Amino acid sequence: MDREEKDIPLISVIVPVYNGQDTLTACVESIERQTYENLEIILVNDGSTDDTAAVCVRLRESFENLHVITTEGAGVSAARNAGIDASTGGILTFVDADDRLRPKTLQVLYECLRDTGSDMAGCGFFTWEAEEGWEGFLKEKYRIRRPREYTPGAYLREQLLKGNSRCWSKLYRRAAIGELRFSEELSIGEDMLFLLRLLPFLRKIAETDYPGYGYFQNPEGAMNREFVPRYMDQITCWELAREDALKMDPSLAAQTAALVMVGIMLTAGKLAELSFRERRKQKEYVRICHEKLKEEIGTPGACQELPEGYSFKVQMFLAMPRIYLLLYHLHKYR
């Protein structure tokens, strides 16, 4: 009796990769070791300039359930979209090419999806930086508890707007995703917007605290790079998210304004990390951050919704933007 005859749905695992020659093999092997067996893996090589293409060929020769497609450096959103379009499973998930899964992760997530009748199921994650860290996490034992169940509105308030805005570490029913795709115009926050725009199409969401996804703390990752103009997407994504969130729940005005302010301050922090000379070249973006912050702080209740420590930062940047950036820079590099 084959897998389909056993009524075990096919899960499509979509792995976007750019210059992942050093991490991709271990990532794929962690997927192939899953206790849930009915899988297809879609590698999307997004215009890599290292030996990633050769690694993809070797992996395709090693695993019959693995397929490789190529995009032309269009970004992670376009790569994920291409993976969705090429996949055939009734259930989808996303794994980044430098991350890994515990052996039981997809089984745990599938059982959450099945047992709760949900359209999306998510699990916890852990971060690791070195191989011994990953091996240590694999040895730890966890008791799998009953998942928490959410309506879309509750998930928006209690999960997504409180930090659980990642597209990875989750399973999705393809029927719920439908024609929805990742926004290819953004370089930051595209996964959060995808989730937010998916919520109205979901009946129920399940979340387990099982830490099944291993997130590699990559020092070369996008969030650790020097400021470039596209980093302003940190603000844009939350401005767009607010529009969608308020359509679902108009009472979230203060909470979403606070999140926009956090995005502004994170962007200001990136600008502050630049040298004084480089920061002067980007002064227009400093001005934009300052003007946007002035607009958001007028939202009733927004300051009360800011995370701890942000209220002082906001007030200081509003009053003395140049001094704030200087002090931030000196503190960062003292």
d(CA 278, CA 125): 36
At residue 218, the pLDDT reads: 74
Average pLDDT of the chain to the nearest whole number: 94
- Residue 221, exposed/middle/buried by CB under 10 A (0-12, 13-18, 19+)? exposed
| Residue 137 and residue 225 in contact, taking contact as beta carbons nearer than 8 Å | no
SS3 sequence, 15-30? EEECCCCCCHHHHHHH
DSSP, collapsed to helix, strand or coil, labels residue 111 as helix
Listed residue (272, 275, 270, 262) closest to 307, CA to CA? 262
Alpha-helical (H) ranges within the chain are 24-32, 52-62, 76-86, 105-116, 131-139, 152-158, 174-177, 190-198, 233-248, 253-272, 276-281, 283-296, 310-319, 321-332
pLDDT tens readout for residues 184-208: 999 899 999 999 999 999 999 999 9
pLDDT tens readout for residues 20-48: 999 999 999 999 999 999 999 999 999 99
Tokens of 312: 């002082």
Query: Helix 253-272 and helix 233-248: axis angle, to 10°?
Result: 170
At residue 127, the pLDDT reads: 95
Record the pTM.
0.92
Residue 214 has pLDDT above 70, yes or no: yes
The angle subtended at Cα 95 by Cα 91 and Cα 56, nearest 5°, is 105
At residue 334, the pLDDT reads: 78
More confident residue, 1 or 79: 79
d(CA 219, CA 285): 25
Beta-sheet pairing, 148-150 with 100-101: unpaired
